[in-house]
Structure 1
Amino acid sequence: MSSVHSSPTSASACSPVPPADPPPEVVARLRAAGCVFAEDEARLLVATARTPDDLAAMVGRRVAGLPLEHVLGWAEFHGLRVAVDPGVFVPRRRTEFLVDRAAALAPPGAVVVDLCCGSGALGAALAAELDGAELYAADIDPAAVRCARRNVPAGARVYEGDLYAPLPAALRGRVDILLANVPYVPTEEVGLLPPEARIHEARVALDGGEDGLDVLRRVTAGAPGWLAAGGSLLVETSERQAAGAARTFAGSGLVPRVATSRELYATVVIGTRP
Structure 2
Amino acid sequence: MTSAGTDVVARLRAAGCVFAEEEARLLISAAAETGAELDALVAERVHGTPLEHVLGWAEFHGLRVTVFPGVFVPRRRTAFLVDLAVELIRAQAGYPMVVDLCCGCGALGMAAATIVAAAGHAVTLAAADIDPVAVRCARRNLTPLGAPVYEGDLFEALPEELRGCIDILLCNTPYVPTAMIAQMPAEARDHEPRTALDGGADGLDIFRRVAADATTWLSPGGHLLVEAGEDQASRALAILSEHGLMGRIAESGELYATVVIGTRPDR
Same fold, TM-score > 0.5, yes or no: yes
Distance in 2 (CA, whole Å) between partners of 1:32 and 1:220 is 45
Match of 2:87 in 1: 104
Cα 1:52–1:127 change in 2 (3 A) is closer
Question: By how many angstroms is 1:166 displaced?
Answer: 1.5
Letter in 2 for 1:262: G
Q: Counterpart of 1:257 in 2: which secondary structure?
A: strand
1:47 to 26, 29, 50: 29
Gaps of 5+ in 2: none
Q: Counterpart of 2:201 in 1: which secondary structure?
A: coil
Match of 2:51 in 1: 68
Q: Counterpart of 2:86 in 1: which secondary structure?
A: helix
Q: Does 1:167 align with 2:158?
A: yes
Conserved 8 A contact 2:102-2:129: yes
Gaps of 5+ in 1: 1-19
Conserved 8 A contact 2:30-2:36: no
Question: By how many angstroms is 1:249 displaced?
Answer: 0.7
1:120 to 92, 100, 106: 106
How many pairs are equivalent? 255
| Mapping for residues 83-232 of structure 1, pairs under 5 Å | 83-106=66-89, 107-108=92-93, 109-130=95-116, 131-152=121-142, 153-232=144-223
Normalised TM-score (structure 1): 0.91
Question: By how many angstroms is 1:173 displaced?
Answer: 1.0
1:28 to 10, 13, 18: 10
Question: By how many angstroms is 1:221 displaced?
Answer: 0.6
Q: Does 1:78 align with 2:61?
A: yes
Question: By how many angstroms is 1:154 displaced?
Answer: 2.9
Conserved 8 A contact 2:109-2:127: yes
**CA deviation string 1:99-155 (max 9, x = no partner):** 000010112411001110000000100111222210110000000000000011431
Distance in 2 (CA, whole Å) between partners of 1:154 and 1:79 is 17
Cα 1:144–1:53 change in 2 (3 A) is closer
Question: By how many angstroms is 1:53 displaced?
Answer: 5.5
Distance in 1 (CA, whole Å) between partners of 2:133 and 2:35 is 29
- Judging by fraction of residues, say which structure has more helix: 2
CA RMSD in angstroms comes to: 1.2
Q: Counterpart of 2:149 in 1: which secondary structure?
A: strand
Match of 2:225 in 1: 234
Distance in 1 (CA, whole Å) between partners of 2:136 and 2:255 is 29
